[in-house]
Amino acid sequence: MPLYKRINASLKTGNETFTFNQDNLDFQLIDFWKWSVSDLVSNATRGRLAEFIVAKALGINTDNVRDEWQAYDLITPGNIKIEVKSASYIQSWHQKELSKISFSIKKSRSWDADTNIQSKESKRQADAYIFALLKHTDKDTINPLNLDQWVFYVLTTEEINNYPRSQHSITLKSLEKLTKCIDYYSIKNELHNKTK
C-alpha cells in the first residue's frame, strides 16, 4: 500500500482478538474499549458521546467509523454540516463547585486527510452548531446514557457569526439569549426549522 494513501478504518465488533507470534491472546478489543472509554463523564469521551447522541437524533448513519479528521463533526442526510460541542457541570475529578458552562466556537483552518493539505482560510466549517449540555448536577446519580440528563441548543453558523460578543466561546447565558433549550427528541425538528 502506498504511504500517501489514507487508511479507511473498518467498523469493529469488539470481538477482535489481540495476537502475538500468530497466537491469539486472552484479551479482545472490547477489553480495550471498556478500559479506555468507560468514563463517560470525562471531557474527551463525553464529547464523542455527545456527537453520537446527536447523530442518532438526526438519523445519521453510525454504521461507519467516526471520521476524526473531518473539518466538522457530522453531516446530515440532507448535507447539513454539524459541529457538536459538549459541556457538563460535573467533571470526573474532585470539584469544589460546579463547572461554569462555556462552549468553544473558534474559527479553524480545515485539514483534508486525503491530501494532507490545510486550508489557508480560518472560518467555521459547519453550517450549524449543536451544543450538548449534560445538565445533571449530582455526582452520585449522573448517567450520560440517560438522555433526560442532557439538554441541547441549536444555532446556525450565521447566527454565531452575527453575534456581537466573543467569537471564541459562548456562555450558557448567551446561548439562552439566542435560542431555546430543547430535549433529545426535538433536535431534528429544531435543526430543520433553523436551516430550511
**Blockwise average pLDDT, block size 10, the chain, 196 residues:** 72 96 97 96 95 97 87 94 97 95 90 80 92 97 98 96 87 95 97 94
Spatial separation of the C-alpha atoms in residues 103 and 139, rounded to whole Å: 21
The structure's pTM equals 0.91
The pLDDT of residue 1 is: 52
Q: Which of 80, 100, 71 is nearest to 175 (CA)?
A: 100
Map out the domains of the chain as residue ranges. 39-195
Rounded CA-CA distance 8/22 in Å is 24
d(CA 130, CA 183): 12
DSSP string, 117-140: EEEEEEE--SSEEEEEEE----TT
